Structure 1
Amino acid sequence: MHTPPPTIGFPAETGPYERRTLLTPHLAHTLTDAGFHIIAEPGLGTGIGQEDAALPQVDFRPAEQVWAAPLILRYKPGPPQDLDRLVPGQTIGAIFHAEGDPAMITALTRRRVTAFSYEFLREHGHHPLAVAGGQIAGTQAVLAGTHALQHPNGRGILLGQVPGTEPAHVVIIGSGNVGAAAATTAAALGARVTVLTSTPHSAAAYTRRAPAGVRVEVNTPDRLAALLPTTDLVIGAILISTHTTPPMITRTHLATMRPGSVIVDATCGYGAGYLPTSGPVQETGDPPRVVDGVLHLKHDALPRLVPNTASHAYAHAAAPYLARLGHHVLQGVDDPAMRSAMITHQGALVHPVVREHADLYARGMAA
């Protein structure tokens, strides 16, 4: 008897301002070549100008049929109420960042589903599904900061060097995917760039691949404080900022900075975090927040602003891992890297980071 291929469903994205899609032609080819039957909601690629005809191997179905697939894959999970479409026993994968969203944690446990969060996937000591988004966000952080420097309240300088002018000074806190991309972009524009890393080991590792002319140092409170008075643009690019992350730049530091200088929080973590003067996450299109004469930008999900680039870059990087996730979930293939991305199992919280934050929310410490 012929056994039908296992099915993966791709609903359309539904988050606010969300135009990205995970299902590009490259991903569709990868999954069908791996033996999966792909069903998707019509028009899911409209936001990037992708017609359904670009996915001839995909079986387009009404939304209710797509949401009934045993494995649901999305770029972002959408609002928590989207999960009410799921039934116990189903599995969903997305970039959840659920540790910062108590409503999402509640929805996952209430629906008793199994969920995989791509950003947690770890293999060979790295998080491969964080690379594409981090590279895009790092580049955008510099471009956003460059624009803010030209704001009426900004320093009024061009980040790119022009003969007869001093190059702008950019300080980047962090040397991971976001920080490295920011350094490459700022250096290419002609800025004088200092990258601060968390340890001597990370400083040595990044120095070997840093662009020419980029200065690499270990981040200490004293060194950061010494750099800020001559800095035009600060890019905060640490890996994660949580409710318990200590501050790095405070209002005391702002008093030493040049009026009109700019701070871009590219991490956009949870709680006050390491850049508390940045305040809450800003909405798309919001102007910089001015605190003590210093402009602050804190736009969550910077890659969302370039949906075409982000969709293709992310789907290309994720394709082999999502095929493995399909084999793991639908065919029982053991895969430690896939297990590392599991945040709930049949509604039970299993990832330590998500469990830690759920405990904070339960105690009212991160409200």
Structure 2
Amino acid sequence: MPNLDAAVVGFPRESVPGDRRTLLTPAVARCLRDAGFTVLAEPDVAAGVFCPDADLAAEGVRFADPERVWAAPLVLRYKCTNPADLGRLRPRQALGALFHAEGNPAMLSALMDCKISAYSYEFLAEHGRFPLAAPGGQIAGIQAVLRGAQALQEFSGRGVLLAEVAGAARPRVVVIGSGNVGSAAARTAAALGVRVTVLTRCEGSADEYRPQAPTGVRVAVNTARIRRELISQADLVIGAILVSTFDTPPMISEADLRDMKPGSVIVDATCGYGDGYLPTAGGVQEPGEPPRVVHGVLHIKLDALPALVPVTATQAYTTNALPYLVRLARVVLCGDADPAVATARIAHDGELVHPVCREHAAYFGVAA
């Protein structure tokens, strides 16, 4: 195996079947090069978003076989959902990706076994926010409304157009959550002229969200009584909780479904863990599957909505992530101290170090 320069950042091709997104664009390559790093990539790393190797090469990207790319001291990719990929790495290497490892016991075990430093972008926190979760959340929130609107028009759906139409009753939308996904969903639904209510976790969350809520959008605290009342009147319900764990209480029960309008739609856009959250939606669905109908209510549960629009997702995500990728490279390859980057580290030298991952490891019985 070649002895790569210590300032090399490797970009292997994505391995999620059907996912065309990439983290390496000409702009990303240029920023890393200008910061003094060498970019090594597999050929056709960005072919899924119609970016040819020649465009990357023009920004200084060098191309190599997968073994050389995976041997880089810092490996960056868009997503890492296959624990087997970690077997390509050696101790003291670092990997940055969207892991969502907390719900995946096999990934948690693999992270400890390979003894690398792993950074999960969605956990990166700065100034009280999660900046690397924003682009995907925004896209997922918009798509949740669009998918819900489509489902309402299906044969088993309610037959309601999700828009304001003169002479027809304005449809009602309930969004559970006011984070990146919920805010985008509320903006999209409100722009269509429908009645929108956003349910927040607590009064403090409601106070924080109200100033940015679109005109006419109602904001309320998510209590069982208010939630049941609102979803019984809703045409579309969107689950958009920012962080859900195995002990998150159920948001909608089977009893609640019986009080909902026939043909109404639930879109679970963030797909929480365990039996809580939105248990009536069942397991995560594959793109293209029809809605699951339970007690006359259509359920859509997709955890990778942005993957359906890879060009938009890649452009939005990399534009937002650029400075953080450079900062991550400086931490790993130059020894810089960066408190924000440190919040994204989930594993180091055989140990899980992020509290959320440790919590879920304990739930699964995975030694952390």
Same fold (TM over 0.5): yes
Pair 1:310 & 2:310 matched: no
Counterpart selection for 2:64 from 52, 61, 66:
61
Structure-2 residue corresponding to 1:353: 356
Structure-2 residue corresponding to 1:235: 238
Structure-2 residue corresponding to 1:14: 15
In structure 1, C-alpha distance between the alignment counterparts of 2:138 and 2:84, rounded to whole Å: 30
TM-score, L = length of structure 1: 0.96
After TM superposition, give the deviation of residue 273 of structure 1 in Å. 2.4
- CA spacing shift, 1:4–1:92, aligned 2, 3 Å: closer
Which amino acid in 2 is paired with 1:171?
V
Counterpart selection for 1:218 from 218, 221, 236:
221
Structure 1 counterpart SS, 2:299: strand
Task: Name the Cα RMSD after superposition.
Answer: 1.4
State, as a whole percentage, how many aligned pairs show the same letter: 59
Which amino acid in 1 is paired with 2:350?
G
In structure 1, C-alpha distance between the alignment counterparts of 2:104 and 2:5, rounded to whole Å: 37
In structure 2, C-alpha distance between the alignment counterparts of 1:206 and 1:350, rounded to whole Å: 31
Give yes or no for contact 2:151–2:291 (8 Å, CA) kept in 1: yes
In structure 1, C-alpha distance between the alignment counterparts of 2:181 and 2:46, rounded to whole Å: 26
After TM superposition, give the deviation of residue 238 of structure 1 in Å. 0.8
Give yes or no for contact 1:5–1:35 (8 Å, CA) kept in 2: no
For residues 184-227 of structure 1, the C-alpha deviation after alignment (integer angstroms, 9 at most, x for no partner) is 10011111111111112221221111111111111111011111
Structure 2 counterpart SS, 1:359: helix
Give yes or no for contact 1:13–1:78 (8 Å, CA) kept in 2: no
TM-score, L = length of structure 2: 0.96
In structure 2, C-alpha distance between the alignment counterparts of 1:18 and 1:346, rounded to whole Å: 30
For residues 73-114 of structure 1, the C-alpha deviation after alignment (integer angstroms, 9 at most, x for no partner) is 000014111111111111100000100111111111111111
After TM superposition, give the deviation of residue 248 of structure 1 in Å. 1.5
Structure-1 residue corresponding to 2:173: 170
Q: Which runs of 5+ in 2 are unaligned?
A: none
After TM superposition, give the deviation of residue 4 of structure 1 in Å. 6.1
Give yes or no for contact 1:108–1:344 (8 Å, CA) kept in 2: yes
After TM superposition, give the deviation of residue 27 of structure 1 in Å. 1.1
**Any runs of at least 4 consecutive aligned residues in structure 1 with deviations exceeding 4 A, and if so which?**
none
Give yes or no for contact 1:7–1:37 (8 Å, CA) kept in 2: yes
Structure-2 residue corresponding to 1:119: 122
Counterpart selection for 1:256 from 254, 259, 275:
259
Q: Which runs of 5+ in 1 are unaligned?
A: none
Q: Tell me the matched-pair count.
A: 362
For residues 106-145 of structure 1, the C-alpha deviation after alignment (integer angstroms, 9 at most, x for no partner) is 1111111110000111111111111111100100010011
Structure 1 segment 145-156 matched on structure 2, within 5 A: 145-156=148-159
